[in-house]
């Protein structure tokens, strides 16, 4: 185990499991260097099914160089509909070739537009919009260019196998992109929201410049911070300074200017709600993800196992309906590892039938007991939040759940060129696997 990159430690990923040197190199010189294909679990009705009963058109879309949110905005604009009528199961990276499902409500197949660098196929109709997690997993095929030490991949694999007594595995961290790769502040916004600090949430997003972003945006954010610190902030001037490509920041500043906001929390909540509903949820989700990462890092630091429970852990069982060859946790089927059950649950975990979990904190989250529970409660106390704090208005509310703390990618490594191929269950991050192998700046993953 070795200390992680400083940018990763900002989002709770404090360690690499592997002590071995990384292969180095770099990713995504071209979108085709990073390919992602969703492992689907949606069974649609035919395209000619009754649109009254099945109002959502299911699309399979292959995107080259598109951010998922940006594509959703583009297709809704082309169709002349609200973006709220476009949904998807998983957010994908812009610098990749991705194949994924979308639903569009109230649209006929003949209405679909042609969009640059997007192959859009209508595959059927469904009765509800896709939600995050409505997929079994993702298959990845990733090329590493100009590796410094391609032979180091074998040493990393050996370390990952030693982590779980023979089968390569990594902690199921939330990857850097969950928080903003170049400017990881999404979780900071979310923590402010959870603590009821609406003003702090807006300023963490609109202001709060980062060294890793361009001079123009740093200057604009610093100007917004200066206005916020004044007795009579002029949000109109801050709006003038903010670059037009920072649309969400501009939307918030516009609402602050509209309300002539100073300190009233209601004004700042109104400003934060200027962004789309999925981004509002993402703020709180990122806070939950940060806390989850902190729990995993503390478990690593203490040397607790990840592949089998200790007394006090909460274990979930495998999803019986997962596609063949992919082991998927079913977090709705849980059992506490009490002293008299821990040995039985260890055997289930050893056979791949169950998984140790950690909390994604919300109002109904079940915390562990014993040492795992001490870790969870200690992280919450350190950031000053409580499960009850997640009883929030509108799209910010979250009841919470639990998540497996380990993922076992069956990584296939090939040379000349160096490639990594593997599959992961829904919600797990390819960069969490690749960071162990490359050990490079997370901005380059």
**How do residues 239-270 score in pLDDT, each as one tens digit?**
999 999 999 999 999 999 999 999 999 999 99
Residue 146 pLDDT greater than 80, yes or no: yes
Q: How many CB atoms lie within 10 A of CB 156?
A: 25
Picking from 98-102, 105-109, 119-123, 277-281, which range would have the lowest pLDDT averaged per residue? Answer: 277-281
Burial 80-118 (b: 16+ CB within 10 A, else e): ebebebbbbbbbbbbbbbbbbbbbbbebeeeebeebeeb
pTM for the whole thing?
Answer: 0.89
- End-to-end Cα, the chain, rounded Å: 20
Alpha carbons 375 and 358: distance in angstroms, whole number: 10
**pLDDT, tens only, 389-412:** 999 999 999 999 999 999 999 899
In a shared domain, residues 359 and 309: yes
Is 119 among the domain residues? yes
For residue 178, tell me if it sits in a domain: no
- Same domain flag for 291 and 397: yes
Catalytic option among 19, 70, 93, 332: 93
pLDDT of residue 171: 98
CATH number for position 89: 3.30.70.3160
* 193, 301: one domain: no
Q: What angle do CA 198, 200, 295 make, to 5 degrees?
A: 95
Whether 21 is in a domain gets the answer no
Examine the domain organization and report whether 295 and 402 are in the same domain. yes
Q: Give the model's pLDDT for residue 327.
A: 80
Its domain, for residue 202, covers 186-275
The answer to whether the CB of 16 falls within 8 A of the CB of 135 is no
Instruction: Please check whether residues 355 and 396 belong to one and the same domain.
Output: yes
Based on the fold, state whether residues 291 and 402 are members of the same structural domain. yes
Rounded to 10°, the helix 186-194/277-302 angle is 100
**Both 192 and 252 in a single domain?**
yes
Half-sphere exposure of 159 toward its Cβ, with a 13 Å CA cutoff?
19
- At 78 the three-state DSSP class reads helix
Same-domain pairing of 298 and 381: yes
Taking only the tens place, the pLDDT of each residue in 289-304 is 999 999 999 999 999 9
pLDDT computed for residue 60 by the predictor: 97
Whether residue 300 is found in the same domain as residue 402: yes
d(CA 21, CA 439): 7
Looking up tokens 């610190």 gives 229
Reported confidence tier of residue 177, pLDDT bands at 50, 70, 90: confident
- Residue 50 inside a domain? The answer is yes
* Per-residue pLDDT tens digits for 322-338: 777 678 899 999 999 99
For residue 83, the SS3 value is: helix
pLDDT in tens, 403-441: 999 999 989 999 989 999 999 998 899 999 999 999 999
- Give yes or no for a contact between 372 and 310, defined as CB atoms under 8 angstroms apart: yes
Q: How many domains does the chain have?
A: 4
The SS3 call for residue 252 is helix
- Which of 275, 291, 316 marks a domain boundary? 275
Chosen domain end from 243, 275, 307: 275
- How far is residue 438's CA from residue 445's CA, in Å, rounded to a whole number? 8
197-206 pLDDT per residue, tens? 999 999 999 9
Please give the C-alpha separations between residue 178 and each of 8, 182, 285, 289, 401, in angstroms, as whole numbers: 11, 11, 9, 8, 17
Question: Is 179 within a domain?
Answer: no
Residue 420 lies in a domain: yes
Q: What is the CATH number of the domain that holds 267?
A: 1.10.1510.30
Q: What is the pLDDT of residues 226-244, one digit of tens each?
A: 999 999 999 999 999 999 9
For 210-221, give the DSSP string: -TTS-HHHHHHH
CATH value at residue 340? 3.30.2350.20
Q: Clarify whether residues 301 and 263 are in a common domain.
A: no
Q: How far is CA 349 from the centre of its chain?
A: 25
Residues 399 and 288 in one domain: yes
58 domain residue, yes or no: yes
265 contacts 196 by C-beta, under 8 angstroms: yes
Residue 176, in any domain of the structure: no
* Residue % of the chain over a pLDDT of 90: 87
Please, what's the largest Cα pairwise distance for the chain?
65
**Count of alpha carbons within 13 angstroms of residue 220, beta-carbon side:** 21
Residue 357 and residue 305: Cα distance in Å, rounded?
A: 12
Active site residue 444: no
**Beta partners for 16?**
2
- Cα 70 to its chain centre, rounded Å, is 16
Same domain for 402 and 419: no
In angstroms and rounded to an integer, the radius of gyration of the C-alpha atoms of the chain is: 22
- For residues 302-319, give the mean pLDDT: 96
Residue where a domain terminates, one of 223, 241, 275: 275
Q: How confident is the model at residue 443 (pLDDT cuts 50, 70, 90)?
A: confident
């Amino acid at each position: 185990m070795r200390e992680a990159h400083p940018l990763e430690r900002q989002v709770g990923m404090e360690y690499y499991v592997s002590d071995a040197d990384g292969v180095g190199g770099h990713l995504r010189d071209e979108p085709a260097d990073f390919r992602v294909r969703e492992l689907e679990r949606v069974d649609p009705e035919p395209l000619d099914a009754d649109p009254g009963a099945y109002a959502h058109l299911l699309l399979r879309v292959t995107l080259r160089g598109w951010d998922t949110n940006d594509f959703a905005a583009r297709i809704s604009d082309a169709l002349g509909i609200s973006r709220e009528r476009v949904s998807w199961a998983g957010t994908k990276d812009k610098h990749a070739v991705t194949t994924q499902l979308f639903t569009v409500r109230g649209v006929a197949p003949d209405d679909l537009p042609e969009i640059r660098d997007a192959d859009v196929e209508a595959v059927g109709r469904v009765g509800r919009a896709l939600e995050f997690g409505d997929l079994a997993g993702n298959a990845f095929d990733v090329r590493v260019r100009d590796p410094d030490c391609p032979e180091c991949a074998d040493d990393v694999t050996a370390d990952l196998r030693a982590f779980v007594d023979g089968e390569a595995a990594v902690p199921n961290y939330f990857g850097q992109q969950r928080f903003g790769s170049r400017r990881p502040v999404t979780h900071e916004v979310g923590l402010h929201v959870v603590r009821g600090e609406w003003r702090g949430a807006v300023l963490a997003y609109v202001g709060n410049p980062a060294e890793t972003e361009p001079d123009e945006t740093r200057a604009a954010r610093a100007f917004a911070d200066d206005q916020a610190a004044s007795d009579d902030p002029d949000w109109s001037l801050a709006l003038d300074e903010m670059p037009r490509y920072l649309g969400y920041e501009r939307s918030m500043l516009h609402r602050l200017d509209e309300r002539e906001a100073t300190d009233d929390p209601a004004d700042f909540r109104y400003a934060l709600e200027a962004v789309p509903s999925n981004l509002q949820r993402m703020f709180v989700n990122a806070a939950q993800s940060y806390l989850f990462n902190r729990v995993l890092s503390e478990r690593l630091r203490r040397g607790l196992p990840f592949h089998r429970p200790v007394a006090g852990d909460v274990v979930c069982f495998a999803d019986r309906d997962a596609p063949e060859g992919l082991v998927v946790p079913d977090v709705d089927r849980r059992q506490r590892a009490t002293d008299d059950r821990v040995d039985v649950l260890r055997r289930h975990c050893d056979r791949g039938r169950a998984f140790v979990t950690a909390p994604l904190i919300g109002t109904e989250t079940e915390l562990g007991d014993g040492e795992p529970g001490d870790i969870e409660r200690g992280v919450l106390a350190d950031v000053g939040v409580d499960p009850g704090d997640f009883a929030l208005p509108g799209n910010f509310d979250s009841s919470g759940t639990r998540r497996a703390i380990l993922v076992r990618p069956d990584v296939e490594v090939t040379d000349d060129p160096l490639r990594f191929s593997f599959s992961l269950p829904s919600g797990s991050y390819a960069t969490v696997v690749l960071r162990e192998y490359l050990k490079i700046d997370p901005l380059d993953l």
